[in-house]
Structures are given as structure tokens and as C-alpha cells.
Structure 1
Amino acid sequence: MKILVIGGGGREHVLVWKIAQSPLVETLYCAPGNPGIAALAECVHIQADEIDALLDFALAEKIDLTVVGPEVPLTLGIVDRFQAAGLEIFGPSQAAAQLEGSKGFSKDLMAKYGIPTAAYRTFTDRDQAHAYIRAQGAPIVVKADGLAAGKGVIVAMTVEQALAAVDDILLDKVFGAAGSQVVIEEFMTGEEASFFVFTDGKNILPLASAQDHKRIFDNDEGPNTGGMGAYSPAPVVTETVTAEVIETIVKPTIAGMTAEGCPYRGILYVGLMIEDGKPKVVEYNARFGDPEAQPLLMRMKSDIVPVLQACARGDLAGVSLEWHEKAAVCVVMASGGYPGNFEKGLEISGLEAAEAVEDLMVFHAGTAFQDGKIVNQGGRVLGVTGLGRTVAEAIAKAYEGAALIRWRDVHYRKDIGQKALNR
């Protein structure tokens, strides 16, 4: 088989790493890829949002299966375009990708089909949004409706913070077109977790549990990011919670999407808030989470390629997954200043030393080649992912690897996985 993976981040590096292990794969491409991916696949210099060029490449190379990593090409309709050209592709259609692409759409779907989530209102008018916030009080959550690279959610602890967030989004357009409307939600308490299922639009195949760490600083302080680390399994997702998520959230979501005329195929990510064993939806994503994909796919024992094909073909019934008993922890190493401004082009040292550590993988997210050296190119630069018999062992392994890698102003959290240990 010839397989094309679209994207160039940490999620795509681990997808390429996992797909490359399949005996079904003859040739593996990644567009645009990154320096870490280049060791495993042929990198093609086409960006993830260049749909026409990607389609031309896939047709010319007779690609058997395309796997879409990031959300932007999904919301641009890449799946519809490839399917119309007779190509097999893993991911939801443009209509189905609205589940991530529009928070208003997803909240309306949850309300219509009785899926547990925070109470909310949607606004395009700044004054109406302000009046609602003043009436509700704080803490309260303000979200840009569209895609904002994981940064469009403001958890406001005061009314003033919430009002300022509305002005930033609706008036100052800090998130661009993603801020054409705002969703204002009640503040939920509890512990967050990430729940993933493969689906073909009818059948569902749950993955192992995982937990992400959204905030930039230790103890969940500072602004939200695309994710500063993750681990699997997540003890907060008990067997009882898993059963409840599937029955009250996943099944109604998949059935609801079909009823709305946009059946959902691919990987569905459900961001959960769990309080007293009761799960509610924080958000949906239409693709693998990054960094949750790194620990999850390192723990997956099964060949992933037949699962991806089954989802794409609408034929997931009877497919199962096997998992390694070991735990996995990913620590994200970020550029100093992220999620704000940061310096690019800084040489990274210690990669070879870290890659030599047993039971450790260094997944590239925001790196580039420059003058023969690997440098930082993005905010989240590397996902250092360790395996261990326990979460504690996996934490130690990940931090052993992170300690070997350096560049100027590198930043990473020191408490990834502590919530698991506290349980």
C-alpha cells in the first residue's frame, strides 16, 4: 500500500511512526512532514491546507489511503474532494467536521440530542454578550466559535476578564474569522480527560483513556495552549465512566450527526469534564488530540492501518484493538514565550542522546532543518514520550529524555501525570 499522511506536527509524527510499523505499507509519504518524520517517510513539500495540490499528488502517485492529521484541511472539505475523485481517505466530511469547526454547531447538537454539557448561549452582538455575562456572573467561559489552534477558550475568573475576552474576540478579532461569534458557557468544575473513539458512522471502537494538560504552567496555571503533555491510561476514566461516556455521549453524538445528514467517520475526540463520576462534554475535536496521540499510539499493540481503512470504508464492525499494559507519558517541550510570541530558529541539542534512551520516543512537532541543524519552528516543539510499567515509571522516563534536550529559553511543565499519581 501507498499511504499519505497529511500534517507536520507531533500528532502526525506519531501517526507516521505507527503506520510505518504495518506490514501492509510499502511506501509512506507525509505532507508537509517535519525533520522527525523525514526519518520514517518521504516528506512532500505541500502544506496541509493546499487541498488542490494534495489531491493532484494523491492521484499522480496512486495513493491507496490518505490519513488527515490536523483539523484545518478537514474543515476545508479535503475528505469530500478526495472521495469525489475516488480516493480512500480517513477523516470526517466537511459537514461532519463542523463538530470541531463551529462550537455553536456542536453545542446546538448537544442541546438537541440531550448530550450532557455546560449551559450556554451564542452571541454575535458584543452588548448582548456583555449583558449576559453581567447577569450570569463569574467564573464563566468565553469561546471563539471557530478554529483557534487550541487557544480560543478563555476561562474567566472575573466578570471583567470575561467582558475583555468578548471584546478581544468580537471587536479586536484576535482569533480572526474564528471569532465571528462567541459561545459563552457556564464554568464546569471537575477533572478533565480525553476520550477517543474510531467510528465508521455506525459502529464505534473506543481507544484507551488519556488526559491532557492544557495550561502552560504547573498546577494548571496560566493561559490555555494546544496541550503541554498527556498520559495514558487516565485513572479518572474508570470502567463505569467509560460505559457512561459511550451511552450518554458517544452513541447519541454519532446517531445525532447521522440524523442531521452529516454522518461522522474517522476519529472522534470528546473532551470531558468529570465530576463525581459524571462526565460532561467540554468540546469535540474531529481528529486525534495532540499530545494525547503520542501516548495512545505508543500503547496501541494492534496494526492501525486496517482500523483506518475500516473507518474510511464504513466497515468497522468486528474490528478490535489490543493495548500494551504499559503506561505512557508525553511531556511537551515548548519555545519560551509560547503561547505568546517566541523566538524561532534556535538550534536544538541533545536529540540523539534522548533518542538512544530505551522505551522513549521524541516526536517532532514544531521543528525545522536550517543550515544542516534542527531548530525550533513552532510554539510546541517536541513531544518526549516515555513508556513504563506504571504511570510513575513512564513519567520518570519522559523527564529523563526531556532533561537531555536543550535550546535557549526552552520551557516545559514539571508536573505532567501528577493527577494520576494523586489518585
Structure 2
Amino acid sequence: MKVLVIGGGGREHAIVWSLRRSPQVTEVVCAPGNGGIAEIARCVPVDVNDLAAMANLAATEKPGLTVIGPEVPLALGIVDELERLGLRVFGPTKAAARLESSKAFAKSFMQRNGIPTAAYAVCSTLDQVRRELARFTTPVVVKADGLAAGKGVVICDTHAEAEQAAAEMFSGALLGKTEAEVVLEEFLTGEELSFFALCDGTHAVEIASAQDHKRVGEGDTGPNTGGMGAYSTDGIATPAMRQWLLRNVAQKVVDGMKAEGTPFKGILFCGLMMTSRGPMVLEFNTRWGDPETEAILLRMETDLCDLFNASIDGTAGQLAVKMRPGASACVIAASGGYPGKYASGRVIHGLTPNQSREDMVVFHAGTAAKDGQLVTAGGRVLAVSAMAPDLRSALDKAYAELGKISFEGMQFRRDIGHRALRG
């Protein structure tokens, strides 16, 4: 079977790598792909912001399965369009993807369906922000309603800071695009957890859990990013807690979306804060996370094609997802200046073609081939991922591999997994 993967980041490299290991797959095409993906799949240029271009590519390639990686194509309605063409496609429809594409929709959906989340207010004007802020103690969280590549969340220590963040979201000064609505949210404290479930419109099935590191700086300092590293272990959540999250969060999402006439199929990524009041949902993503995927797929024993087919065919309830015991970790090598302005085109040293093993893979997040060399082509450049019997060993393996790699301005966090190791 030919599989088409839409996207070109570290998540898509991990998906392509995993699909290449499936006996069901004869060819993988990735659009647009990147320098690393090109070593193991045929890459075709496409603009993931162009719905017609993506649909035309799928119609031309005629894959047996199409997998959507990033959030933007989902928000544009690529799944609806490919289904209209009669193609098998993994991912939620445009309406179901609103769980991620609109923070305001997600919050009201959780409220309607009894899913635990922080207190919030949706505001469409600055005057409304000023009025609603009086209800919130500080710090307070200000969120852009729409997609923001992991950068649309600002934690504010004062009401004045919150008002300024909201003003910059409305004007477009903060994210480069204007927001019609912003969400004010109660600040929660605790350990963050990413819980992944496979959904088929009726059933939610646990895949795995992970913990991401959003802040750019060590000790969780500095601005939020798309993710500077992640880890996944057997013990990151107890079996009882995982069952609680499956029943009280993921399955409630599936039941609620079905009841509202927008069945949810695909990956449901539940971003949670484990508070003293219990688990609270921070956000939903409607696709594989990045960089959590680069860690999770190293541990997955189940054929990835079986997950995709079960979601499409409505048979997820019959699937038991198996993960290898132990731990996996991913460390991001990013461009200097990220998540702000950064330079591209820096030559990457220390990489070899197909630099991967069963237990250690360097996934490419933002690379390109130029004049016979691999160069940087994004804020997050590489996702160095490793698996071992325990988290410390997995991290040691990843950092040892990262130590062989260099490019001008390279930055990375040296404390991935610090909370788990401290505990």
C-alpha cells in the first residue's frame, strides 16, 4: 500500500519512519517532507496552507491511505476534501478539528460535556477583557483563540500584562495575525501531562502518555515554544489514572462530539495539568503532538497502519495498542533565537545519512538539502530521540548523540526529564 503523509516536521519524520517499518506499506510519499525524510521516502513539494494543492496531490498520487500530520491542513478541511474524493484519510474533519483550531470552542465544549478544565472567559473586545479580568487572580493566562504554533499562550503576572497581551493578539502584533477572540484562563499549577488516545467516532483507546517541555530555557524559563523536548515512560501516570483520563476526558470528548453531529476520528492529544484538585484539561490537539510523537513512536510495538485503519473503519474498540517497556526521550536542537527570529541555511555537521537505529533516531524537524549538504530550515531543527530500559539511560543516549551534532547558533535544553529524575 502507498501511504501519503502531509507535513514536513519532526512529527512527520517519525510517522514516516514508523510507516516504513510496516509490512503493509510498499511506498511512502511525504509532502513537502524535509532533508531527513527525503532519505527514507519520496518527497513532493506542496504548500500545507493550500487546500487545493494538497487535494490535487492526493488525487494524482492515489494513495491507499493519507495521513495528515500538522494542524493547519486539518483546520482548513483537508480531511473533508479527501473524503469527498473517495480517499481513505486519517484525521478529523474540519468541524471536529475545532477542538484545536478554536480555544473558545474547546472551552465551551468542555463546559457542556462536564470535562474538567480551568475557569475561563472568552472576550472579543479589549473592553470586555478589562471587565472580565476583575474575576481572575494573578497570574492569569491569555490565549489566542486560533492556531498559533504553540506560541499563542501568555502567562501574565499582572492584569496590566494580561491586557497588553490581549491587545497584541487582537492587533496581530504578537502572532502576526489578528485574533477575533481571546480566552482568559485561570492559572493552574501542577505537573503537565500529554495523554494520547486513538478515536474512531465512537471509541477512544489509550495510546500512551508523555511530558513536553514548552519553555525555551532550562528550569522551564523563557517564552513558550512548540516544544523543546519530551519523554514517555511506563510510570508517567498510574494505570488507574490512565483509565480515569480515558473514561472522563477522551471518551467524553468522543461521546460529546458524536452527540453534536461532528464525530471525532483521529488522534486526540489531551494536554493536562495534574493539579491538587485533580486533572484539568489545558488544551486539545487533534493530531499527533510534536515532539511527543518522536518519543512515543520509538516505543510503539503495534503497527502504525493498524491504528490508522482502526480509526477510519470504526474498529478502534477492538485494538489494544502495545508499547515497549521502559522509557524514551526526545531532545530538540533549535536554531539560535528561536522561538523569536532566527537564521536558516546553517550547515549541519555530525549527521550521516539514515542515522538511525532501533533504539536511537535523529528525526529532522526543520532541515533542507542544499548543494549536497543538510542545512537548517526552521526554528526546531532536529529531534534526537532514544529509547532505553529507564529514563536516565534514554536521556544519556540522546544527549550523547546530540553531542556529535553541531550547527551555528544551535541551542538545546540540557534538563529534559528533570521533573521525573528529581522525583
Do they fold alike, i.e. is TM over 0.5?
Answer: yes
Distance in 2 (alpha carbons) for counterparts of 1:172 and 1:277: 35
Quote the Cα distance in structure 2 between the aligned partners of 1:366 and 1:203. 34
Q: Following TM superposition, by how much is the alpha carbon of 1:354 offset from its aligned partner in structure 2, in angstroms?
A: 10
Do structure 1's residue 402 and structure 2's residue 397 form an aligned pair? no
Q: Structure 1: which 4+ aligned runs deviate by more than 3 Å?
A: none
TM-score by length of 2: 0.97
Aligned-pair distance for 1:391? 0.3
Displacement of 1:222 in angstroms is 0.6
Equivalent residue number for residue 315 of structure 1: 315
Aligned residue for 2:381, secondary structure, equals strand
What is the CA-CA distance between 1:62 and the residue it aligns to?
A: 2.1
2:109 is the alignment partner of 1:109? yes
By how many angstroms is 1:327 displaced? 0.9
Count of residues in Structure 1 that have an aligned counterpart in Structure 2: 423
Measure, in 1, the Cα distance between the counterparts of 2:231 and 2:178: 29
Report the equivalent of 1:127. 127
Q: Distance in 1 between matches of 2:217 and 2:354?
A: 23
Give the aligned partner of residue 8 of structure 2. Answer: 8
Pair 83,121 (structure 1): closer, same or farther in 2 beyond 3 Å:
same
Output one character per residue of 1:252-297: Cα deviation in whole Å (capped at 9) or x when no partner. Answer: 1111111111110000000000024821100000100000001100
2:286 paired residue number: 286
Cα separation, 2, equivalents of 1:254 and 1:36:
35
Q: Is the 8 A contact 2:172 2:179 kept in 1?
A: no
SS across alignment from 2:219: helix
Do the aligned partners of 2:334 and 2:410 also contact (CA within 8 Å) in 1? yes
Where does 1:49-198 land on structure 2 (aligned, <5 Å)?
49-177=49-177, 179-198=179-198
Partner Cα distance (1:125, 1:286) in 2? 28
CA-to-aligned-CA distance 1:148-167 (integer Å, 9 cap, x gap): 00000001122222121111
8 A Cα contact 1:8 1:34, kept in partner:
yes
Deviations 1:301-346 (A, max 9, x none): 1111021012112222311221111311000010010000011111
Instruction: Return the alpha-carbon distance in structure 2 between the equivalents of residues 84 and 218 of structure 1.
Output: 46
Contact 2:146 / 2:179 at 8 angstroms: preserved in 1?
yes
1:339 — aligned with what? 339
Instruction: Look up the SS of the partner of 2:384 in the other structure.
Output: strand
SS at match of 1:401: helix
Segments of structure 2 that go 5 or more residues without pairing to the other structure are: none
For 1:33, the equivalent position in structure 2 comes to 33
Within 2, Cα distance between the matches of 1:229 and 1:388?
A: 16
Unmatched 5+ residue regions in structure 1?
Answer: none
Query: Which digits, 9 at most, give the CA deviation of each residue in 1:339-397, with x for residues without a partner?
Result: 00011111110112993777321000011112221111110110000111100100101
Matches within 5 A, 1:152-301: 152-177=152-177, 179-233=179-233, 235-276=235-276, 278-301=278-301
Q: CA RMSD in A?
A: 1.6
On the 8 A contact 1:99/1:284 being kept in 2, the answer is yes
2:193 and 2:174 map into 1 onto residues whose CA distance is 28
Structure 2 CA distance, aligned partners of 1:35 and 1:417? Answer: 28
- Shift of residue 137 of structure 1? 3.3
How does the TM-score come out when normalised to structure 1? 0.97
Q: Any idea what the Cα deviations from partners look like across 1:219-275, whole Å, max 9, x if unmatched?
A: 111111000000001744222221221122111111111111111000000000002
Q: Distance in 1 between matches of 2:373 and 2:337?
A: 22
In structure 1, C-alpha distance between the alignment counterparts of 2:171 and 2:24, rounded to whole Å: 51
Any conservation in 2 of the 1:69–1:287 contact (CA below 8 Å)? yes
CA separation in 1, counterparts of 2:317 and 2:244? 21
Residues 304 and 414 (structure 1), Cα distance of their counterparts in 2 relative to 1, 3 Å cut: same
- Cα displacement (A) at 1:131: 2.7
- Residue 421 of structure 2 corresponds to 421
Query: Identity of paired residues, percent?
Result: 46
